[in-house]
Structure 1
Amino acid sequence: MKLRILSSIIIFLGSYLPLAAILVLQDISKESWEKPICDITKLTFENCQLPTLNNPEIALAFLGITAFSFVFFILTINSIKSGEVAIIEEAKQIPGDIINYVFPYVVSFMGVDISDKGKLSGFVLFLAWLFLITHKSGQIFLNPLLILSNWKYYEVTYSIGNHKRTEYALSKNTLIPNSKVRTKKVQDINIMSQKD
């Protein structure tokens, strides 16, 4: 099953929710960092104020888009239940690959100034290239935020009928030898769930 380009873009953007949160924090004005959010000497919230952003439209739009995309992604992957029945022969969890996918990109953009149009354009172009590479390689589902939703990445050997295969899979359940699962291939990744 191949994803449509719009679905792929939404899923891809969902993996950059932490980066969007970092950009919002970096966009908080210097004056806001110097003032407390609330006056803790008073027991009311009347004296509380949210920090001000230098570029609220851009920062909050990116945060909103990535938050929506992440929720869409989680709902999409959790809705994949059907598929062929497979018998697991061998399964090896690969936890590092999901973390390694996004970590360098988050670190790379710790200093992005979204008020600078040149840096913002470069950032958008970089994300577009990452998307194209990720989409073409079929790795769009390798979202490091899946760890927060208890999904795991495996190298798995399984059989369907008399056909034995060794491929990569995502599963919320622990994959153990001789267990039966349902598997559906989406963008070159098997989504495996417990057999009903």
Structure 2
Amino acid sequence: MVADSSDTAEWRIETVSADEEGCLFYLDHYKPFRLMALQQDPDGCPLAKTFAAGQSRDKTVLSATSLLGPLPDSQPASNPSQVIAEMSEGDDRHDCQDAAPMCFQMASVYTRSEARGRGLAKRLVKVAMDDAVKQAQERGRALSLSFVVYATNTAAIAFYESCGFVASAEGPTDSFNPLKNSTSGELNMFFRAAS
């Protein structure tokens, strides 16, 4: 988990891994920091909005997704971190007032296995889509909303199609994100509003 450390340093850079140690670090240390940062400067991270469906009685999260945007354009859809880095370098195309559509990308919808089949994920996607539509309408702009799935994940593709997304005409593409599964192509899916 330690990406950079020194015996004499008073700090170190941590990579939050997906194992138990990383999860504990996230919950015990990073999450309180992130909440403090958002309370002090909510505009500091405007590109990601997380939506979660939770149980009413104890707030146990059952399903969640994130909406990233507005982004500079609909590509590269598989690497929002690159888009965010480009924007931090002074590229303000993401909020220009021209005729270009406002671009958003939804990050994976995850639902606990015991909560599947109840329609939570579909309602969560709808709330996130409505948020993106509202932001675009408030600025008088068209909307480009995308999702990226592994081309072999037929269940996910069918789910997103049922939510109003259609597969890109270009078909599956290679991911340039080294952290993703390189053996499976990715499929860009775009939201199409009912006419």
Asked whether the two chains share a fold, i.e. TM above 0.5, the reply is no
The answer to which structure, 1 or 2, has the higher relative contact order (CA under 8 A, 6+ apart) is 1
What TM-score comes out, normalization by structure 1 length? 0.24
User: Could you say which structure has the higher helix fraction?
Assistant: 1
User: Could you say which structure has the higher strand fraction?
Assistant: 2
What TM-score comes out, normalization by structure 2 length? 0.24
